[in-house]
Amino acid sequence: MASFPTALGLSAEQTEDVVQQAGLAPSLHNSQPWRFRLSEQVIELHSDPRRRLPAADPADRELRLACGAALLNLRLALEHFGVRPVVALLPRLAGPTSLAELRSGGPATQAPEELALYQAIPKRRSNRRPFLENPVPAAHRHALAAAVRREQGSLRTMTRPELGSLEGLMHRAHRMQMADVRFRDELAKWTGRPKGAAEGVPAAAAGPLPEPQDQWVLRDFSGGQARVRVPGKDFESDPLMVVVCSNHDSRLDDLRAGQAMQRMLLTATALGLASSLLSAVVEVEETRDELRQLLGGGLYPQAVVRIGYGSPTPATPRRDLRELLIDD
């Protein structure tokens, strides 16, 4: 097979690693909605419209969050190989799928904290299982908030009284989505995937079957194949639930929020914390708006994340790297 194409002065192996790290980002239903065009001068990040999820994400907001997460991985990987990335978001005059362009801004030395995030990329997982009751220490919570701030976002930690309202909103959003046959069909298509599938959520990573008493993890990602939970293995009673927010609600904000979300998820991974996203409440317009009011009305909620100490969960698959390249 021909060697991997090169970009920004990197070797073929380094360029391949950079694309691989980008492709390890989280995405709704593991849809992996990104593509890359490589040249010596620029790495272009594009959305892949064939991987849209119109029922869950009609405005492509979460698609851009996922691509923002891939962009953060690209930045960390480039720095790892000594290239300081200069990023242009939504470059003008580029085509409709173009989300970002990365060029070399000269040599870079990666700081130890950034190296820890680069090393966390392949270890991060969406963990849908019950977490331990152990609380997340305040220093860790501050580190998560700082990670989001660094990418121009805000992190809101839900207080106990707010958690009650959030739970109600989540259940309402879940019921509304499951009443929509288009949503159910889309979810069925992307979940409970057999071993060997390169996309979608495999049954092994789906977590246990949701049960009527469950407060937070309501979506079944296993296509009904997951095991019924061991009696007594309920979800943690006092979860750390955080919301990644942006100041505005534009396409640019989505890309920034995706980078903020990913920096927070990688920070959590590096601190030994597990995480999972719970998106129904921000996918249904009505409940997203109510969550926004609950948070004070100023910020736009982008991603709701449950964080804690969890048991290991298997990795989800990724597509062949060459399929991610735009080759023209």
> Interface residues with ligand FMN (CB under 6 A)?
26-30, 62, 65-66, 125-126, 128, 201, 219, 221, 276-280, 303, 316
Given the complex with ligand FMN, which of 75 and 128 has the nearer CB atom? 128
Residue 165 C-beta: closest distance to ligand FMN, Å: 18
Given the complex with ligand FMN, which of 7 and 261 has the nearer CB atom? 261
Given the complex with ligand FMN, which of 104 and 154 has the nearer CB atom? 154
Residue 122 C-beta: closest distance to ligand FMN, Å: 9
Residue 36 · residue 44 · CB < 8 Å: yes
Place of tokens 């920004």: 8
Neighbours of 293 (CB within 10 A): 9
SS3 at position 147: helix
Q: Residue 227: which of 194, 198, 192 has the closest Cα?
A: 192
Residue 128 C-beta: closest distance to ligand FMN, Å: 5
Which residue's C-beta sits nearest to ligand FMN? Answer: 26
DSSP string covering 76-122: HHHHHTTEEEEEEES-TTS-TTEEEEEEEEEE----HHHHHHHHHGG
Residue 6 C-beta: closest distance to ligand FMN, Å: 27
Q: Which helix (H) or strand (E) holds 301?
A: strand 300-308
Given the complex with ligand FMN, which of 108 and 209 has the nearer CB atom? 209
Residue 60 C-beta: closest distance to ligand FMN, Å: 11
Residue 202 C-beta: closest distance to ligand FMN, Å: 9
SS3 at position 29: helix
Given the complex with ligand FMN, which of 8 and 235 has the nearer CB atom? 235
Given the complex with ligand FMN, which of 61 and 80 has the nearer CB atom? 61
The residues, ordered by sequence, that sit 6+ positions from 233 with a Cβ below 8 Å of its Cβ are 130, 208
Residue 261 · residue 150 · CB < 8 Å: no
